């Protein structure tokens, strides 16, 4: 039961975010600040350059609705201002301005003052989730000789990355995700040889991945997700033996996976290449990825059969191969791990039945086998354990029978999508858990009346069935009821009396 709840709350993306957002720096400096507060020096003063620089930053902020900078007051000890820390004396080493809330009423507006260059001892700069800070890639970063980490995430910075970005050579972390930076990834980035975390995700970057990235041998997390990058994924991985997370999803990469990716086998845990235009077969070297937790190759043009050796991925917890051109047979996986989300939808599989290894997986929370050529009766699907699933998508198969028993047993289910099958049952008999939000039953053979209990769902689709009778009062549009035998009442036409 606990595992099921865990799997519900740790859906794939969240798990990944959790892993990648834990920054060692933030931990260390929180600890340092804590220690410093235990031993405050009386009548401390901070360096005048630091005070001037910080106050200039504050005056560049035009709106601070949640008052995150309200403790920054001229003449007070600047090392005690919120987000400012001076672990080595009276010089500011770390500046952290971070908004936790996603509520539009707390966004910071304005620009980043170049006077921050006065903070000569700055080692780390963290501006996260400020949302409405505009301006170019900050030039003052180049004037800070001790800078080791830069987090400029989810702001609204724009324009090209600087050609001399490679001169920030002390950096071990550079993340500028969630801005509007455009233009190419500068080739000088290959000079940032101390980098272990590079995140350029969620920007408007174009062009190809510079080959020089191969020099970044300490890299453990490389994320270029959600840009407009193109070309093939270059053969750059031979020396990246520490890479744990590789995320190149949502770009325009094409061609085959490069052979050097095989060198990532000992440590790579997350491989996310979804929503590109990659092709060729899934390389058999993938089965040597002993640490792999998440494999997302969805929405590409991968073809041929999945390697027979895939079951050797003993740590795998999330597999998404959906929307490719993969063919039978799919190997039997040995799924005995923590959490498993499985999506094999929209390929060229003819599975016939829901495979036995899927049914017997004991901690699978999201199962998506849409258009997998499944022809069984759902009454013959006896899951080993109930209360297992959070999300089910078996759309566009030839599944017959009645899901009434299944839905009655699954107390954690949020999503049940089975449109485009041959399910035949009386909708009045359908009961489901309070957790259910999405019920898609369109294009089946469902009959009977629409019961009032579906009114509480978030999304519903009952179109193209054999339902009849007066609709209970609900918020759904007419399109979710069209194509039935004799439904009537709002939002459809009035019932004949
Ligand atoms: C963002 O900043 C602009 C000015 O730079 C301001 O007009 C706008 O109201 C701000 N938006 C939010 C949501 O704070
Ligand atoms: C890397 O740095 C060296 C020395 O500063 C410089 O000569 C070289 O041009 C830089 N490489 C790139 C690709 O910018
Ligand atoms: C994807 O690649 C194919 C060739 O393999 C090409 O014809 C097609 O235009 C590409 N699609 C996109 C969206 O780039
Ligand atoms: C409901 O399903 C039908 C048939 O699959 C589809 O055409 C329609 O767009 C769907 N409506 C909604 C609101 O999802």
Residue 28, domain member (yes or no): no
User: Domain for residue 383, yes or no?
Assistant: yes
User: Does residue 488 belong to any structural domain of this protein?
Assistant: yes
- Note whether residue 420 is domain-resident: yes
Is 33 part of a structural domain of the chain?
Answer: no
Q: Compute the distance between CA of residue 209 and CA of residue 218 in angstroms, rounded to an integer.
A: 17
**Does the pLDDT of residue 21 top 70, yes or no?**
no
DSSP string, 91-119: S--EEEEE-----GGG-EEEE--GGGGG-
Report percent pLDDT > 90 for the chain: 77
| DSSP single-letter state for residue 405 | H
Asked whether residue 116 carries a pLDDT value surpassing 70, the answer given is yes
Nearest to 298 by CA among 340, 346, 367, 237: 346
pLDDT in tens, 465-479: 999 999 999 999 999
User: Which tokens go with 448?
Assistant: 């009977």
Residue 429 belongs to some domain of the structure: yes
Residues counted in the chain: 497
**Close Cβ partners of 72 (under 8 Å, ≥ 6 residues apart):** 54, 55, 58, 78, 81, 82, 84
- The predicted-structure confidence for 398-454, as pLDDT tens digits, reads as follows 999 999 999 999 999 999 999 999 999 999 999 999 999 999 999 999 999 999 999
Question: What share of the chain has pLDDT > 70, as a percent?
Answer: 90
Cβ of 107 closer than 6 Å to ligand 1, yes or no, is yes
Whether 86 contacts 111, CB under 8 Å: no
Instruction: Give the containing element (helix H, strand E) for 365.
Output: strand 364-368
Residue 445 lies in a domain: yes
* Separate counts of helices (H) and strands (E) for the chain: 6, 33
Q: What is the CATH number of the domain that holds 418?
A: 3.80.10.10
Confidence at residue 328, expressed as pLDDT on a 0 to 100 scale:
94
CB of residue 109 inside a 6 A radius of ligand 1: yes
CA distances from 219 to 87, 98, 172, 208, 257 (A): 27, 25, 9, 19, 19
| Ligand 3 center–CA 246 separation, angstroms | 23
Q: CA 58: distance to chain centroid?
A: 32
Ligand 2 pocket check: which of 166, 185, 190, 195 to mutate, most ligand atoms within 8 Å of Cβ? 166
| Closest ligand to residue 65's CA | 1
Residue 48's SS3 state is helix
Tell me the pLDDT of the chain averaged across its residues: 89
First-to-final CA distance of the chain:
50
Separation between Cα atoms, residue 13 and residue 51, nearest integer Å: 40
pLDDT tens sequence across 150-180: 999 999 999 999 999 999 999 999 999 999 9
**271 alpha carbon to ligand 4 midpoint, in Å?**
33
Tens digit of pLDDT for each residue in 176-189?
999 999 999 999 99
- In short, whether 463's Cβ falls inside 6 Å of ligand 4 is yes
Q: Strands (DSSP E) along 41-191, which ranges?
A: 61-63, 84-85, 94-98, 108-111, 124-128, 131-134, 149-153, 158-160, 173-175, 180-184
Number of folded domains that form the chain:
1
Structural domain includes residue 386: yes
Structural domain including 483 reads 375-497
Give the whole-angstrom CA distance, residue 300 versus residue 388.
Answer: 29
415 Cβ neighbours under 8 A, 6+ residues apart: 390, 391, 392, 393, 436, 437, 438
Going by CA atoms, what residue is nearest to atom 13 of ligand 1? 104
Quick: pLDDT tens for 284-334: 999 899 899 999 999 999 999 999 888 788 888 899 999 999 999 999 887
Asked if pLDDT for residue 105 goes beyond 80, the answer is no
| Residue corresponding to tokens 């309200």 | 70
Supply the residue whose CA is at minimum distance from atom 5 of ligand 2: 167
Identify the three-state secondary structure at position 328. coil
């Amino acid at each position: 039961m606990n595992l099921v709840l865990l799997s519900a709350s740790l859906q794939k993306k969240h798990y990944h975010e959790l892993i990648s957002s834990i920054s060692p720096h933030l931990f260390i400096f929180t600890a340092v600040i804590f220690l410093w507060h235990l031993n405050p020096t009386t009548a401390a003063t901070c360096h005048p350059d630091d005070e001037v620089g910080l106050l200039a930053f504050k005056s560049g902020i035009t709106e601070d609705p949640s008052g995150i900078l309200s403790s920054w007051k001229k003449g007070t000890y600047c090392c005690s201002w919120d987000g400012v820390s001076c672990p080595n004396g009276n010089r500011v080493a770390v500046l952290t301005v971070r908004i936790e809330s996603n509520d539009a009423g707390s966004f910071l507006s304005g620009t980043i003052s170049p006077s921050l260059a006065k903070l000569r001892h700055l080692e780390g700069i963290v501006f996260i989730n400020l949302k409405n800070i505009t301006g170019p890639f900050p030039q003052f970063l180049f004037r800070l000789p001790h800078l080791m980490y830069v987090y400029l995430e989810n702001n609204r910075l724009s324009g090209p990355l600087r050609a001399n970005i490679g001169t920030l050579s002390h950096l071990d972390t550079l993340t500028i995700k969630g801005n509007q930076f455009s233009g190419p990834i500068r080739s000088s980035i290959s000079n940032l040889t101390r980098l272990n975390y590079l995140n350029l995700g969620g920007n408007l970057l174009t062009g190809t991945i510079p080959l020089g990235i191969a020099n970044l041998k300490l890299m453990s997390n490389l994320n270029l997700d959600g840009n407009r990058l193109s070309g093939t994924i270059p053969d750059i991985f031979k020396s990246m033996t520490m890479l744990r997370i590789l995320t190149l999803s949502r770009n325009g990469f094409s061609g085959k996976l490069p052979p050097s990716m095989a060198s990532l086998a000992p440590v790579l845990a997350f491989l996310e290449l979804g929503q590109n235009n990659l092709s060729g077969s899934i390389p058999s070297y993938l089965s040597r990825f002993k640490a792999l937790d998440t494999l997302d190759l969805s929405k590409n043009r991968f073809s041929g059969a999945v390697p027979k050796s895939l079951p050797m991925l003993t740590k795998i917890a999330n597999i998404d191969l959906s929307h490719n051109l993969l063919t039978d047979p799919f190997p039997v996986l040995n799924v005995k791990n923590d959490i498993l989300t499985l999506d094999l939808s929209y390929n060229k599989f003819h599975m016939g039945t829901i495979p036995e290894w899927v049914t017997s997986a004991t901690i699978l929370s999201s199962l998506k086998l849409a258009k997998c050529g499944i022809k069984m009766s759902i009454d013959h699907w006896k899951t080993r354990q109930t209360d297992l699933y959070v999300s089910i998508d078996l759309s566009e198969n030839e599944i017959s029978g009645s899901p009434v028993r299944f839905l009655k047993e699954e107390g954690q289910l949020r999503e049940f999508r089975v449109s485009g099958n041959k399910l035949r049952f009386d909708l009045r008999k359908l009961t489901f858990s309070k957790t259910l939000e999405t019920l898609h039953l369109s294009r089946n053979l469902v009959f009977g009346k629409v019961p009032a209990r579906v009114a509480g769902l978030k999304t519903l689709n009952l179109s193209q069935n054999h339902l009849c009778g007066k609709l209970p009062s609900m918020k759904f549009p007419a399109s979710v009821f069209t194509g039935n035998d004799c439904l009537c009442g709002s939002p459809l036409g009035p019932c004949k009396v």
